[in-house]
Structure 1
Amino acid sequence: MTGTIDEFKKLVDAEEFFQFFNMSYDLEVVNVHRLHILKKFSQYMHEIDENSPDLSQEEKLNQYSLALQKAYQVFIESTAYEQKLFKVFNDKPKNVVTLTEITSD
């Protein structure tokens, strides 16, 4: 990795992050889980920033690289539904009665 933190801050697309960190990836996995990978990556970056505020820029980028790899790996081994990163996966559907809510007398 030869990029700077300023270059990193300009990245937008998932592919740009993988290219920035010189990481190989399966385009099919990224296409299916793009938003989830980026969301998980964002959560990991936030943890790094909160837990290690004194890291140098190089150390921070190294940690971010590991975080992206970890986020990518999550969705190779798991599904978006299992991770429940977005509100839609956590909201109870309206106007639906589940079988566990039905009781018999």
Structure 2
Amino acid sequence: MSGTLAEFNQLTDAEQFFAFFDLPYDPAIVNINRLHILQKFSALVKELDVEELSEAETLNQYRSAFQQAYTVFLSSNSLEQKLFKVFNQKQQNLVLLSEIDSD
């Protein structure tokens, strides 16, 4: 990996991140989970403390976080991870059978 933070900041899709970090990937996994991989990566990056690190060290931390985000989806899926708000919202117009009374 010989990129810069400026180049990193221009990346927009999952395949670009894999190329930038020189990481192998299965296109089938990425096609199904691309947004979830990027969302997981974003969450992992927010947990990092990179303020005191050099550019190279920061990019190495980002590379590790991206690899970790991808690895999660090798054995899991978007429904299990529930990274987006829509997966955690309770439906408003749903009545459970247990809530129906048969007086």
TM-score (ref. length: structure 1):
0.89
Q: Partners of 1:5 and 1:74 in 2: how far apart?
A: 25
CA deviations over 1:17-46 (Å, ceiling 9, x no partner):
000010000011101000000000011111
CA-based RMSD of the aligned residues comes to 1.6
* 1:77 Cα deviation from its structure 2 partner: 1.2
* 1:79 Cα deviation from its structure 2 partner: 1.2
Q: How does 1:3-42 map to 2 (within 5 A)?
A: 3-42=3-42
2:68 pairs with 1:64:
no
* 1:52 Cα deviation from its structure 2 partner: 3.5
The runs of at least 4 aligned residues of structure 1 exceeding 3 Å deviation read 99-105
The runs of 5 or more residues in structure 1 that have no matched partner are: none
How many residue pairs end up in the alignment? 103
After superposition, the Cα gap between the structure-2 partners of 1:12 and 1:93, relative to the gap in structure 1 and judged at 3 Å, is same
TM-score (ref. length: structure 2):
0.91
The runs of 5 or more residues in structure 2 that have no matched partner are: none
